[in-house]
Amino acid sequence: MTLSSSAVAPDLDAVIAAHAALRSRKPLVQALTNAVSTNFVANALLAAGAAPAMVDNPEEAALFAGIADAVLINLGTPTAAQVESMRLAAAAAQKAGKPWVLDPIAAGALPWRGAVAAELLQFKPAIVRGNASEIIGLAGLGGGGRGVDSSADPAAAVPAAVDLLAHAAAVSASGPVDHVVGRVDGRPTLVKVGGGSVWLTRVTATGCALGALAAAYASVAPDALTGLVAAHVHFAAAAEIAAENARGPGSFAAAFLDALDAVDEGALRRLAKIEPAVAAG
Ligand SMILES: Nc1ncnc2c1ncn2[C@@H]1O[C@H](COP(=O)(O)OP(=O)(O)OP(=O)(O)O)[C@@H](O)[C@H]1O
Ligand SMILES: Cc1ncsc1CCO
Ligand SMILES: [Mg+2]
């Protein structure tokens, strides 16, 4: 599997193929994620058709990166021990050729963790996934953000996302319309994914779960860009299905897990909102 460049820009057919591969292979994702998100991330992976394992202690993190199909590293509540595990797991994933995803939570707002995130880029994540402020912050272009939430428009994060292609094969900035970049035939390319639901912003750790799903897809897709677009499309379709029955954030959260499971080829065909790829940067 090459994770550096796609031969063609991902489209609906590529997303459907990646979804079928996810469902048949049920990839195992090692998640080193924040304390707020662990249960929701594990349940979202199971609902979507993957499998979670939260192995994040320094004694076992590297060994398990060689066992898992993909690794998620999420900097939401980083302790010293967890950061040590992150360095070990990222290095082991790179050595084993396993795709890993960096979610640089609050990288633009908090300099210490911003430096940790920047340091982890040396281990070449397949994917960097964050909200717009985090992508801008990680690229060293400012960003800010109020704590863990975004204050930027994803379109404004595209130059930063393209800069990050020096370290990662694909990068996305989430928001009302998700902006996903990668290389197609070597050239920086932008794919926008619309849809979803604003309810996603009223439940904690939805972005964290999206990062975990991106890791799962990266391990079954032909390249990182296709995997990342597929994760965004699956997530957005599930959010639309869930929003139909939600009465508030609590019922949305439960309906969203049901909908991650319910998304099938028909739902993808009906609900996917993938804009044609364009050159970026
Ligand atoms: N205004 C919006 N309308 C529809 N969907 C949205 C909106 N804002 C974000 N989303 C969706 O919510 C999901 C999480 O994106 P968000 O940008 O909130 O990530 P995040 O800030 O990293 O989340 P968290 O840190 O809470 O886990 C994505 O699937 C994104 O498409
Ligand atoms: C609320 C919160 N605080 C640190 S990480 C996190 C989860 C969503 O980013
Ligand atoms: Mg986030």
**What is the value of ipTM here, to two decimals?**
0.97
pLDDT single digits (tens) 217-246 = 999 999 999 999 999 999 999 999 999 989
CATH at residue 127: 3.40.1190.20
In a domain, 4, yes or no: no
The closest residue, in CA terms, to atom 4 on ligand 2 is 76
Q: Which residues line ligand 1 (CB under 6 A)?
A: 105, 130-131, 148-150, 174-176, 178, 196-198, 200-201, 204-208, 210, 235
Global model pTM greater than 0.90:
yes
- What's residue 22's pLDDT? 98
**Sequence-distant (≥ 6) Cβ neighbours of residue 166 within 8 angstroms:** none
- What's residue 145's pLDDT? 62
Q: How far is the CA of 97 from the centre of ligand 3 (A)?
A: 25
**148 touches ligand 2 (CB under 6 Å):** yes
Q: Residue 265: which domain range?
A: 12-279
Number of domains in the chain: 1
In a domain, 210, yes or no: yes
Q: How far is the CA of 200 from the centre of ligand 1 (A)?
A: 6
- What's residue 2's pLDDT? 43
- What's residue 245's pLDDT? 87
Cα angle: 34, vertex 155, 150; to 5 degrees: 30
Ranges in the chain, pLDDT < 70: 1-3, 141-151
In a domain, 165, yes or no: yes
**201 touches ligand 2 (CB under 6 Å):** no
Q: How far is the first Cα of the chain from the last one, in angstroms, to the nearest whole number?
A: 26
**77 touches ligand 2 (CB under 6 Å):** yes
Give the ligand whose atoms come closest to the C-alpha of residue 235. 1
Contact present, 194 and 236 (Cβ < 8 Å): yes
In a domain, 16, yes or no: yes
The residue ranges of DSSP E strands in the chain, in sequence order, are: 28-32, 51-53, 70-74, 100-103, 127-131, 170-174, 178-184, 187-193, 278-279
Strand 28-32's sheet: what is its strand order? 51-53, 28-32, 70-74, 100-103, 127-131, 170-174, 178-184, 187-193, 278-279
Helix, coil or strand: residue 262: helix
In a domain, 3, yes or no: no
- What's residue 264's pLDDT? 98
In a domain, 200, yes or no: yes
In a domain, 55, yes or no: yes
In a domain, 258, yes or no: yes
- What's residue 6's pLDDT? 84
